[in-house]
């Protein structure tokens, strides 16, 4: 019987091409939209490459300063707070900080714009970069402000072709830098590590490090937890730093937007940390949107199924007249619905990958992405199967009404021209 149901399913797909198209379209498009939505979120929260272990990390990307006169200021973490307060409390090789910028590279009398990131030496120990050649700059390079640089593999190929880039020099923003290492390209969704060229932060035009904590800065900070320095300890110590700074700044209140996991940093975005609803509210909001996207096509499937079964009413009546039970007829409808949903889901997955690949700049344009064209795609098949499972639930629900109508079918009534 199961084999017969499959035969009938494929026969119906071939015969009723219009309804097949409507059903597959109604299933595949919502699956594609949700997969792209999930793809953007997941790849931003847990990108591949250097940030693949960011579940061990906590981040501070923003600082807010409230003045007693009602003024507000937003920005990155000031370098003086990092140097005077975060570095002394951090475990060895567990604190990374960086600031982004743009670079102008001159070659053959032509200028090229590059994504630039200024970092500390421990940046290369906190994040898991894969070095193709050479090594990162070290603490001595940073402290003595050496003109050294690490570049991405694609940039090295553009500049030097197959020639080894190590030890060669390049002119960046009017200064000559020596290349010490070449790393595998980083996805531009990796907001804490992405760049095409990395330089010591001491080569940046920084404000003098002093005790003035009344201004925001330009740095993002990453804490990587260890067995002896847990995430809870990091958060507690940063809160204590925050309290000390507020005691020093009597006229202003300083608020760190973190340290927090990557998911919370993503969903919070530019929202006020004092008004942010929390991670669960963000997940619930996202799940609600996904269910709404799936629910509307499910209602359409009910209508399509009823019309499709109405066209097959005489065939079903004959089958029932020759002994088909209500259970068999209802099972046939439900099987066809489930198979159609699964087929539409697979099509939706393929379409999502095709759209995300072909239209990277449109799909992945966001406030924190410098070059959408350099996004590295990674599909989560676990999310896909969960999505297919939810879709199958909706498909079962959308097939219940037609199945119940079939179970009450009177062959003689249908053969005389009656409707279901």
pLDDT tens column, 208-228: 766 667 678 889 999 999 988
- Given 256, 291, 312, which residue is the final one in a domain? 256
- For residue 336, is it within any domain? yes
Q: Which helix (H) or strand (E) holds 289?
A: helix 279-311
- For residue 275, is it within any domain? no
Beta bridge partners of 152: 183
Look at residue 367 and tell me whether its pLDDT is greater than 60: no
Look at residue 234 and tell me whether its pLDDT is greater than 60: yes
- The conformation of residue 55, written as its DSSP 8-state character, comes to G
Please list the alpha-helical segments (H only) found in 312-419: 313-321, 326-358, 360-363, 381-407, 411-415
264 vs 276: CA distance, rounded Å:
10
SS3 state at 200: strand
Look at residue 419 and tell me whether its pLDDT is greater than 60: no
Mean pLDDT for 91-95 is 92
Look at residue 113 and tell me whether its pLDDT is greater than 90: no
Same domain, 189 and 244: yes
Same domain, 287 and 348: yes
pLDDT of residue 200: 96
Mean pLDDT for 273-292 is 69
- Give the model confidence (pLDDT) of 383-395 as tens digits: 667 766 766 676 6
Neighbours of 210 (CB within 10 A): 10
Q: Which residue has the tokens 């990374």?
A: 96
**Strand extents, DSSP E, 137-232:** 148-152, 169-172, 175-183, 197-200, 220-224
386, two tokens: 């969960």
pLDDT of residue 45: 80
- Given 199, 221, 256, which residue is the final one in a domain? 256
- Reference 37, options 282, 230, 336; nearest CA is 282
- For residue 246, is it within any domain? yes
356, two tokens: 């995300």
Look at residue 20 and tell me whether its pLDDT is greater than 80: no
- Looking from the CA of 268 toward its CB, the CA atoms found within 13 Å total 23
Look at residue 322 and tell me whether its pLDDT is greater than 70: no
- For residue 99, is it within any domain? yes
Look at residue 40 and tell me whether its pLDDT is greater than 80: no
Look at residue 230 and tell me whether its pLDDT is greater than 60: yes
20 vs 26: CA distance, rounded Å:
10
Q: Which domain holds residue 337?
A: 2-47+280-415
The lowest-confidence range among 150-159, 275-284, 348-357 is 275-284
pLDDT of residue 1: 46
- Given 256, 289, 322, which residue is the final one in a domain? 256
The lowest-confidence range among 110-119, 177-186, 278-287, 377-386 is 377-386
pLDDT of residue 211: 62
Same domain, 18 and 90: no
**Which residues, in sequence order, are CB contacts of 179 under 8 Å at separation 6+?**
134, 148, 149, 150, 151, 156, 165, 166, 167, 168, 169, 170
Same domain, 297 and 354: yes
Same domain, 76 and 212: yes
Same domain, 33 and 142: no
Burial bucket for residue 224 (CB in 10 Å: 0-12, 13-18, 19+): buried
Same domain, 12 and 124: no
Same domain, 251 and 105: yes
Tell me, rounded to whole angstroms, the distance of Cα 54 from its chain centroid.
Answer: 13
- Give the model confidence (pLDDT) of 256-270 as tens digits: 887 988 888 887 766
**Which residues, in sequence order, are CB contacts of 139 under 8 Å at separation 6+?**
121
Same domain, 315 and 169: no
- For residue 270, is it within any domain? no
- For residue 145, is it within any domain? yes
Of the two residues 344 and 277, the one the predictor is more confident about is: 344
Same domain, 107 and 153: yes
- For residue 263, is it within any domain? no
pLDDT of residue 206: 79
Mean pLDDT for 61-87 is 86
Of the two residues 308 and 97, the one the predictor is more confident about is: 97
| Most confident range, picked from 108-117, 141-150, 316-325 | 141-150
**Which residues, in sequence order, are CB contacts of 331 under 8 Å at separation 6+?**
1, 5
- Give the model confidence (pLDDT) of 149-192 as tens digits: 999 998 888 888 766 788 888 888 888 999 999 999 988 888 89
236 near 225, Cβ under 8 Å?
Answer: no
pLDDT of residue 144: 94
Residue 232 phi, psi dihedral angles, 5° rounding:
-65, -40
Tell me, rounded to whole angstroms, the distance of Cα 148 from its chain centroid.
Answer: 32
Beta bridge partners of 179: 149
Same domain, 118 and 197: yes
Same domain, 344 and 393: yes
- For residue 291, is it within any domain? yes
pLDDT of residue 60: 92
Percent of the chain with pLDDT over 90: 22
- Reference 224, options 363, 296, 125; nearest CA is 125
What is the count of structural domains for the chain? 2
- The conformation of residue 300, written as its DSSP 8-state character, comes to H
- Reference 389, options 341, 340, 330, 350; nearest CA is 341
């Amino acid at each position: 019987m199961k084999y017969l149901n499959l035969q009938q399913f494929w026969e119906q797909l071939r015969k009723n091409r219009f309804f097949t198209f409507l059903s597959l379209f109604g299933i595949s498009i919502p699956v594609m939209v949700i997969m792209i939505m999930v793809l953007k979120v997941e790849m931003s929260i847990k990108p591949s490459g250097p940030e693949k272990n960011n579940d061990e990390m906590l981040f501070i990307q923003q600082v807010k300063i409230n003045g007693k006169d009602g003024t507000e200021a937003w920005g990155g973490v000031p370098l003086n707070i990092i140097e005077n307060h975060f570095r002394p409390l951090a475990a060895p090789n567990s604190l990374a900080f960086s600031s982004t910028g743009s670079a102008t590279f001159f070659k053959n009398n032509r200028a090229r714009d590059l994504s630039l990131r200024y970092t500390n030496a421990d940046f290369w120990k906190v994040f898991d970069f894969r070095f193709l050649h050479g090594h990162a700059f070290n603490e001595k390079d940073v402290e003595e402000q050496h003109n050294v640089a690490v570049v991405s593999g694609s940039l090295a190929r553009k500049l030097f072709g197959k020639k080894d880039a190590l030890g060669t020099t390049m002119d960046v923003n009017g200064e000559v830098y020596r290349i010490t290492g070449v790393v595998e390209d980083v996805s531009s969704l990796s907001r804490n590590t992405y760049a095409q060229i990395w330089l010591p932060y001491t080569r940046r035009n920084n404000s003098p490090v002093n005790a003035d904590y009344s201004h925001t800065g330009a740095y993002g900070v990453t804490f990587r937890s260890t067995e002896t320095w847990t995430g809870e300890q990091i958060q507690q110590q940063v809160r204590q730093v925050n309290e000390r700074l507020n005691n020093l700044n009597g006229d202003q209140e300083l608020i760190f937007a973190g340290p927090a996991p990557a998911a919370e940093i993503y969903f919070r975005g530019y929202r006020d940390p004092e008004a942010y609803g929390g991670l669960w509210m963000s997940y619930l909001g996202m799940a609600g949107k996904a269910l709404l996207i799936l629910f509307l096509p499910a209602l359409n499937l009910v209508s399509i199924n009823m019309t499709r079964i109405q066209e097959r009413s005489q065939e079903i009546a004959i089958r029932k007249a020759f002994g088909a039970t209500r259970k068999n007829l209802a099972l046939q409808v439900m099987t066809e619905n489930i198979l159609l949903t699964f087929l539409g889901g697979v099509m939706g997955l393929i379409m999502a990958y095709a759209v995300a690949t072909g239209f990277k700049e449109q799909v992945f344009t966001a406030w924190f992405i410098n070059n959408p064209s350099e996004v590295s795609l990674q599909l989560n098949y676990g999310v896909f199967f969960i999505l297919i499972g939810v879709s199958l639930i909706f498909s079962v629900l959308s097939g219940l009404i037609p199945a119940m109508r079939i179970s009450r079918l009177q062959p003689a009534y249908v053969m005389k021209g009656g409707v279901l």
